[in-house]
Amino acid sequence: MSIWHWVIVLIVVVVLFGTGKLAKMGPDLGAAIRGFKKSMNGDDADPSATDPVAPEVLRADPPATDSTAQQTQHDHTQNK
């Protein structure tokens, strides 16, 4: 492509997005690239995060009692 093709593409992009949106897009793209590089290098620790998040504890439901099991069977037979 010649330089004139790139000039036309640039004009179309400025008309579509406007200069304000393009000015915001640059820093956002830079931050995304920096974040990608950090994750590739293994620097996942965020210095602003001082509070470690506790892991979520999953608990199983209590076993069903005989009356609960009978009620569930009764509900299933009524739905058919």
3-57: pLDDT as tens digits: 999 899 988 988 888 878 878 888 888 889 999 888 888 765 555 555 566 677 7
pLDDT at position 48 is: 55
Q: Select from 6, 3, 22 the least CA-distant residue to 14.
A: 22
CA-CA distances (angstroms) from residue 34 to 14, 44, 61, 67, 78?
25, 12, 43, 59, 59
Note whether 28 and 20 are within 8 A (CB).
no
Q: Return the SS3 of 44.
A: coil
